[in-house]
Chain A
Amino acid sequence: MAAAHSDVTSADLADRIRSGDKAAESEFVRRFEPGVRAVVRRHTRPGEAMVDDFVQDVLYQVLLKLRAGELRDAAALPAYLRATIVYATTAEYRRRASHGESASVDALDAIAGDSNPVEHLRARQIATQVRSLLAELPIARDRALLQRFYLDERSKDEVCAELGIESDHFHRVVFRARERLRELVERAGAQDA
């Protein structure tokens, strides 16, 4: 488990893609798509509807660079992917900011909402699971901790100071919530399967 993908280095993968190996391209997507998605989500707002688009754009742009052999240091492929994510998400939000004043709310809703019903359904499911999770947190302060940390984006130290809690309690609540949610999501996935 600890040596995931260690058999093929990023440099090997880049070399094979440059030489026209289609299997290497598939391997590239299979290997990096989950990580790219995870990092894209960290650089976008909660519930962002364009996550899939960002992921595809980033992988496609980097794949083109690899095919053309334009990546000088192939070993830095993960860092290059990460930089491409930052560029893509920043550019999109800047574009929205420059057009946002004139774009109608309904048009944005049509673009962001109807184009990805699967993502909408997933967001609803996760929201339902989070409600279930919150219902299992008997202490209001625990709910306050999650809300301030995740939604208000306060730092851990700030949250602890504001709520008068020890950092151990912070770790415990956040860890438990994260693991419990993962269990709920996995269980829901198993039931759907």
Chain B
Amino acid sequence: MMLPDPGARMTPWLEAVWLQRYLERQLDAEEAAWFEAYLMDKPELVDRLEADSDLRDGLAEVSRGAAAGSGRRVPAAQAVAATGVAGAEAAVDTRAAAAGAVASSDKSTARAQLSRTAPRNISPRRHFSNTLAWAASLIVGVGIGWTSQRSTSQPDLPALMASPTRIVYDAVRDERTPPRIEHADSKSPYVLIEVAVPPGAEHVRVKMENGFEQELVPSPEGFVSFLTKPGEGDIGFIEYTIGSESRRLTLHNITGRK
């Protein structure tokens, strides 16, 4: 299969699709190798990869800590299997105790276990054909773009929605400042989000936790806005740069419900 030239930059949304499939271990070996080479000098992709690895390492450490805290001497891999969710929950429940409870004896056992273990196999367990995988990634990616394009033109939606819930965030003030919410009792499934960004903000992007992201252009008044159909408890993020500094604002409670 012909993979894209790794020297040519993909569009952000296609990069996001590739990254998501990579992190979900849904690329085959050839695709994973290509993508690892591609991301090598892309700081934004590297950051996300590192966040994912941090999460994996942290969960492993928590599980080892939980095993140590329980007084059992369990090798790392077995600790993961044995403690499982209960281990993670125990770690949460006994947070203070577990914080410093990685006993040296268990670390030794864990390292011995690691030393006898083969490296992680990046290849996914499922091996569908390269062509199918590539086509699937395109479909997912195109689907994201298509969904964003058609979000306000579905035939079952009214042509006009009066007074949808409107939430105004302010990136200039402290993030803990609650947003202003208008028409919180609106029946519309869509919510109009407006965010005030500081003067000089560039490369403004909204990222939703379902993986969708979109570049936004500030208005002359300094607002970016978008219409979204959020799920319960959804969180979004606004990222932008000012000069060489990158900033991020978390959009809590984007349903606007009390």
Cβ-neighbour of A147 out of B88, B120, B203 (below 8 A): B88
Do A155 and B118 contact each other (CB < 8 Å), given the known contacts A82-B33, A130-B58, A146-B59?
no
Q: Any chain A CB within 8 A of the CB of B143?
A: no
Q: Any chain B CB within 8 A of the CB of A22?
A: no
- Give B65-92 interface residues, CB cut-off 8 Å to A: 65, 76, 80-81, 84-85, 88-89, 91-92
Q: Mark B1-28, 1 if CB is under 8 A from A, else 0.
A: 0000011010010000000100111100
Chain A residues with Cβ under 8 A from B24's Cβ?
155-156, 174
A108 and B34 alpha carbons, distance in the complex (Å): 34
Minimum Cβ distance to chain A for residue B248 (Å) = 8
Q: Mark A105-117, 1 if CB is under 8 A from B, else 0.
A: 1101100110000
Do A44 and B63 contact each other (CB < 8 Å), given the known contacts A38-B39, A131-B98, A155-B125?
no
Q: Any chain B CB within 8 A of the CB of A23?
A: no
Cβ-neighbour of B115 out of A79, A103, A181, A182 (below 8 A): A103
Q: Any chain A CB within 8 A of the CB of B109?
A: yes
Whether B40 contacts A35 by the Cβ 8 Å rule is yes
Q: Which of B49-57, B155-163, B165-173, B220-228 contacts A (4 or more CB under 8 A)?
A: B49-57
Chain B residues with Cβ under 8 A from A93's Cβ?
117-119
Whether A129 contacts B58 by the Cβ 8 Å rule is yes
Q: Any chain B CB within 8 A of the CB of A157?
A: yes
Whether A31 contacts B99 by the Cβ 8 Å rule is no
A153 and B89 alpha carbons, distance in the complex (Å): 19
Whether B99 contacts A75 by the Cβ 8 Å rule is no
Whether B89 contacts A123 by the Cβ 8 Å rule is no
Whether B85 contacts A41 by the Cβ 8 Å rule is no
Whether B116 contacts A100 by the Cβ 8 Å rule is yes
Whether A150 contacts B40 by the Cβ 8 Å rule is no
Whether B80 contacts A152 by the Cβ 8 Å rule is yes
Chain B residues with Cβ under 8 A from A105's Cβ?
108-109, 111-112
Label chain A's interface by main secondary structure: helix
Label chain B's interface by main secondary structure: helix
Chain A residues with Cβ under 8 A from B42's Cβ?
4, 35
Chain A residues with Cβ under 8 A from B61's Cβ?
46-47, 123-124, 126-127, 130
Whether B92 contacts A185 by the Cβ 8 Å rule is no
Chain B residues with Cβ under 8 A from A48's Cβ?
114
Whether A35 contacts B46 by the Cβ 8 Å rule is yes
Q: Any chain B CB within 8 A of the CB of A60?
A: no
A93 and B73 alpha carbons, distance in the complex (Å): 24
Chain A residues with Cβ under 8 A from B111's Cβ?
49, 105, 108-109, 112-113
Whether A185 contacts B115 by the Cβ 8 Å rule is no
A191 and B99 alpha carbons, distance in the complex (Å): 19
Q: Any chain A CB within 8 A of the CB of B48?
A: yes
Nearest A residue to B59, CB-CB: A150
Nearest A residue to B87, CB-CB: A147
Do A134 and B80 contact each other (CB < 8 Å), given the known contacts A147-B85, A179-B51?
no
Chain B residues with Cβ under 8 A from A39's Cβ?
36, 39-40, 49
Nearest B residue to A139, CB-CB: B233
Cβ-neighbour of A78 out of B6, B56, B64, B89 (below 8 A): B6
A147 and B12 alpha carbons, distance in the complex (Å): 29
Nearest A residue to B116, CB-CB: A100
Minimum Cβ distance to chain B for residue A143 (Å) = 5
Whether A171 contacts B51 by the Cβ 8 Å rule is no
Cβ-neighbour of B40 out of A36, A108, A185 (below 8 A): A36
Q: Mark A167-188, 1 if CB is under 8 A from B, else 0.
A: 0100110111111011101000
User: A44-B120, A103-B115, A129-B58 given. 12 additional CB < 8 A pairs?
Assistant: A4-B44, A38-B39, A47-B61, A82-B40, A90-B119, A109-B108, A127-B62, A147-B84, A175-B211, A176-B209, A181-B58, A182-B54
A and B contact pairs by CB, cutoff 8 A, 21 listed = A1-B44, A4-B42, A5-B41, A34-B43, A35-B41, A39-B39, A47-B110, A48-B114, A79-B33, A82-B40, A103-B112, A108-B115, A127-B57, A132-B95, A133-B58, A144-B84, A146-B55, A146-B88, A176-B209, A176-B235, A178-B51
Interchain residue pairs A-B with the least CB separation, the first 8: A130-B58, A127-B61, A46-B60, A35-B40, A78-B40, A79-B37, A109-B108, A78-B37
